[in-house]
Structure 1
Amino acid sequence: MQDLSGKVALVTGAASGIGRAIAQAYADAGAKVAVADIAADKARDAARSMGPDAIGLAMDVTDEDQVEEGFAQTARELGPVDILVSNAGIQIISPIVDLSYADWKRMLAIHMDGAFLTTRAAMRQMIAAGRGGSIILMGSAHSHVASKFKAPYVAAKHGLLGLARVIAKEGAANGIRANVICPGFVRTPLVEKQIPEQAKELGISEEAVIRDVMLKDTVDGEFTTLEDIADTALFLAGFGSNALTGQSLLVSHGWHMA
């Protein structure tokens, strides 16, 4: 299951953080990889580091035309997509009473609209190619639990579970699987940014945010690592049957157990 030779993968939000780690793991396993990111130059730089079978794409996942063109370019240069990882995301920390409607809509557009648009494009290519595929949505432990000051993020991450289950039902006849990876806190720039924001909202120190908020309910007080998530994405990409579809895999050091 760790050999992806002959497969084509497209990973969104892949210029850095979790997305880049997954894209690199796929390249190391022999896949041709499209590194898609809103930061086009960074996507191209990341792709160059992954070898000649990787390309960098400019992709705003909320822009239908950019998504369609990114998938078309991937098909032209690498072949039709076998693996999609819908990973692009942002975080906004705010109490509901202070949250602007624009920020609410922006969060849902990136996380939910982006997952829909990339999934639709991937499924169309997978069905036309006739060799099935794996669609992986990047959820969160917040797909199952809630935290203060993260209303649109929690709502969107819960929504991805429902989307994946529908994809699994509709895709099964064509050998298309859909699953959600639900990480705990991974110390990416996105999480680093949250630490002072949470400290300000809660009136506590940054050390207390890490110890008493982010890692309080883990079994070992440890952050989830990029390698943990990349290994899970590699496993799901290579799994060969519909036995594992419509599921969410929590990778959170026991923060939430389902």
Structure 2
Amino acid sequence: MSAGTELAGRLALVTGAGRGIGEAVVAALVEQGARVLATDLAFENVTALADKYGEQVTARPLDVTNAAAVEALVAEAERTLGPLDIAVNVAGILRSSDVVDLTDEDWAATFAVNTDGVFHVSRSVARRMAVRGRGRGRGSIVTVASNAAGIPRAGLAAYAASKAAAVMFTKCLGLEVASRGVRCNTVSPGSTLTDMQRALWTASTDQEEATRRVIEGDLATHRTGIPLGRIADPADIADAVVFLVSDRARHITMHDLYVDGGATLRA
């Protein structure tokens, strides 16, 4: 997306902003003129973003699994930076394992970040957006989920289930706050070239070979390929987020936008 002023004057909160899709979302929002409160457990990463973008980005550490910390941060942001117009839930973790070997700790940790974290942030922000109502006219919450929420994936039961829960939660929230002018949508990426994606590749597999396998799919694990023939770049996902928070999507809410090159065949 080219530089513009589409989001000028708006304040956005982004979780998981320190790398990958979250970092790309920050860049895309800034590119369109928004101010961004960039948060992540890896505070040094979001500090680097603040150094890079100057006054347009404010960096704060945040553990989205801590409801009290989320509420305190949102309250501070609204007090010191201004009303939040946009919230983007990107923070997430992936712990792969067959279900029979999946530990209680990995299951709980996955839901704590991918589902509880979305709940904590969205609830806190929606409370404030809803009170402001239609007069402000631009409250928007976007949750970055996964196409794994819509198609079974071997070894990813906890991740897929947590993302499916986050999608339905966001839709329910969207229904509740629609009458007050707040829109809630999800973006569901497929395979995207991030550290999380690379972690799924074995150390013995080079990137070119791993990419080829993802694009072609794998019958042994019942995994579809990618019809468009490429793995997504984080910027592809960020562009979808920026569209959904913009006025171009002013009549879109409770929508789940798949950005996966056709990998799920929209199953």
TM-score (ref. length: structure 2): 0.88
Q: What amino acid maps onto 2:142 in structure 1?
A: I
Match of 1:202 in 2: none
Greater mean alpha carbon deviation, residues 83-92 or residues 209-218? 209-218
Q: Which of residues 101, 106, 117 in structure 2 aligns to 1:103? A: 106
Match of 2:177 in 1: 171
Match of 1:70 in 2: 73
**Residues 211, 231 of structure 2: 8 Å contact kept:** no
Are 2:240 and 1:235 equivalent residues in the alignment?
Answer: no
Distance apart, 1:128 and its partner CA: 3.2
Distance apart, 1:49 and its partner CA: 1.2
Q: Which of residues 95, 116, 140 in structure 1 aligns to 2:146? A: 140
Match of 2:12 in 1: 9
Q: Deviations over 1:119-142 (max 9, x none)?
A: 011112212333241110111111
Q: Which of residues 143, 154, 160 in structure 1 aligns to 2:166? A: 160
Gaps of 5+ in 2: none
Greater mean alpha carbon deviation, residues 20-29 or residues 70-79? 70-79
Map 1:164-243 → 2, pairs under 5 A: 164-196=170-202, 206=210, 209-210=213-214, 211-213=216-218, 216-239=224-247, 243=251
Q: What amino acid maps onto 2:258 in structure 1?
A: L
**Residues 198, 209 of structure 1: 8 Å contact kept:** no
Q: Which of residues 16, 19, 23 in structure 1 aligns to 2:26? A: 23
Distance apart, 1:23 and its partner CA: 0.9
What CA distance in whole angstroms lies between the structure 2 residues aligned with 1:9 and 1:143? 25
Greater mean alpha carbon deviation, residues 219-228 or residues 16-25? 219-228
TM-score (ref. length: structure 1): 0.91
- What is the DSSP-based 3-state SS (H/G/I as helix, E as strand, rest coil) of the residue aligned with 2:69? helix
Match of 1:151 in 2: 157
Gaps of 5+ in 1: 200-204
**Residues 2, 238 of structure 1: 8 Å contact kept:** no
**Residues 168, 246 of structure 1: 8 Å contact kept:** yes
Identity among equivalent pairs (%): 31
Are 2:55 and 1:52 equivalent residues in the alignment?
Answer: yes
Distance apart, 1:241 and its partner CA: 6.2
- What is the DSSP-based 3-state SS (H/G/I as helix, E as strand, rest coil) of the residue aligned with 2:217? helix
**Residues 93, 198 of structure 1: 8 Å contact kept:** no
**Residues 201, 210 of structure 2: 8 Å contact kept:** yes
Distance apart, 1:92 and its partner CA: 0.6
**Residues 250, 257 of structure 1: 8 Å contact kept:** no
What CA distance in whole angstroms lies between the structure 2 residues aligned with 1:251 and 1:21? 15
**Residues 217, 226 of structure 2: 8 Å contact kept:** no
Q: What amino acid maps onto 1:212 in structure 2?
A: G
Number of residue-to-residue matches in the alignment: 253
Q: What amino acid maps onto 2:85 in structure 1?
A: D
Q: Which of residues 15, 35, 38 in structure 1 aligns to 2:38? A: 35
What CA distance in whole angstroms lies between the structure 2 residues aligned with 1:54 and 1:206? 35
**Residues 34, 47 of structure 1: 8 Å contact kept:** no
Distance apart, 1:197 and its partner CA: 8.0
**Residues 173, 184 of structure 2: 8 Å contact kept:** yes
What CA distance in whole angstroms lies between the structure 1 residues aligned with 2:67 and 2:164? 23
What CA distance in whole angstroms lies between the structure 1 residues aligned with 2:211 and 2:58? 39
What CA distance in whole angstroms lies between the structure 2 residues aligned with 1:74 and 1:198? 45
Q: Deviations over 1:198-223 (max 9, x none)?
A: 98xxxxx8567434349852113210
- What is the DSSP-based 3-state SS (H/G/I as helix, E as strand, rest coil) of the residue aligned with 2:152? coil
